[in-house]
């Protein structure tokens, strides 16, 4: 009996894959060992929304690298198509794509749950964010007709790294939260003694909602 295919979930280790890319064969997640990395799928090469996304990702690539984060794209296209599309972007938009793109025949896309039948046979705009231990920290799906906001992915990486370093939680729209601006949230107290001390130690709306400067 075939092993049941299970889509990876938040908290899982990213599955081991050998992939063909525009930079040659790579083994994932081994190729990004010790780094954060974002794997994102796009419906197809030579399409307008995808072109705007690749342009946006590349413009922010130096900012991702400063956060110890790598990018890798994917679509169900041949590597020759990826290379030609990269050439078109360089020749027509004056921007060189510096991160690899996976060429897939559908096997990887199906394994990662990137093809949603009600949205056609192409991959949806999925995003997987992995930490340096290759643990999946976030998964996002967008329909084919809606381009992504790459600044949100930068914000997420910064938030994850801040949360890990300081043991805090990140509020909505951080660092521009409507209540506490660029501050971060202290995890809730786990006992009555700690709860009683909270308002003396931090700025609080109540003992369960305390915050501090990042």
Phi–psi pair at 73, nearest 5 degrees: -95, 175
Nearest CA to 38 out of 65, 77, 5 is that of 65
Determine phi and psi for 78, rounding to 5 degrees. Answer: -75, 155
pLDDT tens per residue, range 115-162: 887 776 788 899 999 999 999 999 999 988 999 999 999 999 999 999
Average pLDDT over the chain reads 93
Q: In angstroms, rounded to a whole number, what is the distance separating the alpha carbons of residues 205 and 38?
A: 36
Q: How far is CA 47 from CA 85, 144, 185, in A?
A: 10, 11, 41
pLDDT computed for residue 124 by the predictor: 86
Is a pLDDT exceeding 90 seen at residue 182?
yes
Q: Which two tokens stand for residue 50?
A: 């995808």
**What is the fold of 167-212?**
Antioxidant, Horf6; Chain A, domain 2 (3.30.1020)
CB neighbour class for 64 (10 Å; exposed up to 12, middle 13-18, buried from 19): buried
User: Is CATH 3.40.50.970 correct for 17-148?
Assistant: no
Is position 204 annotated as part of the catalytic site? Answer: no
Location of each CATH 3.30.1020.10 domain in the chain: 167-212
| Catalytic residue from among 28, 38, 39, 50 | 50
Integer CA distances (angstroms), 113 to 105, 124, 183, 186, in order? 14, 9, 36, 35
What are 25-74's pLDDT values in tens digits?
999 999 999 999 999 999 999 999 999 999 999 999 999 999 999 999 99
**Minimal CA–CA distance to 54: which of 69, 67, 44?**
44
User: Quick one: pLDDT band at residue 5, thresholds 50, 70, 90?
Assistant: low
Res. 3 pLDDT band, cuts 50 70 90: very low
- What is the pTM (predicted TM-score) of this model? 0.92
Q: Which residues pair with 211 in a beta bridge?
A: 185, 203
CATH 3.40.30.10 region(s) of the chain?
17-148
For strands 125-130 and 101-103, give the pairing.
Answer: unpaired
Helix (H) or strand (E) holding 87: helix 79-93
């Amino acid at each position: 009996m075939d092993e049941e295919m299970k889509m990876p979930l938040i908290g899982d280790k990213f599955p081991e894959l050998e992939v063909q890319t525009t930079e040659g064969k790579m083994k994932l997640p081994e190729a990004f060992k010790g780094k954060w990395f974002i794997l994102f799928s796009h419906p197809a090469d030579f399409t307008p929304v995808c072109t705007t996304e690749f342009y946006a990702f590349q413009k922010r690539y130096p900012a991702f690298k400063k956060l110890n984060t790598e990018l890798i794209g994917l679509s169900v296209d041949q590597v020759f198509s990826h290379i030609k599309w990269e050439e078109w972007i360089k020749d027509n938009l004056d921007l060189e794509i510096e991160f690899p793109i996976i060429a897939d025949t559908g096997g990887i896309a199906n394994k990662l749950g990137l093809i949603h039948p009600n949205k056609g046979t192409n991959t949806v705009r999925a995003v997987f964010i992995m930490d340096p231990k290759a643990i999946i920290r976030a998964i996002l799906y967008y329909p084919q007709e809606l381009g992504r906001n790459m600044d949100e992915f930068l914000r997420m990486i910064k938030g994850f790294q801040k949360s890990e370093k300081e043991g805090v939680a990140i509020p909505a729209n951080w660092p521009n939260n409507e209540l506490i601006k660029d501050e971060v949230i202290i995890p809730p107290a786990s006992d009555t003694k700690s709860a009683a001390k909270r308002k003396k130690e931090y700025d609080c709306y109540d003992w369960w909602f305390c915050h501090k400067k990042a």
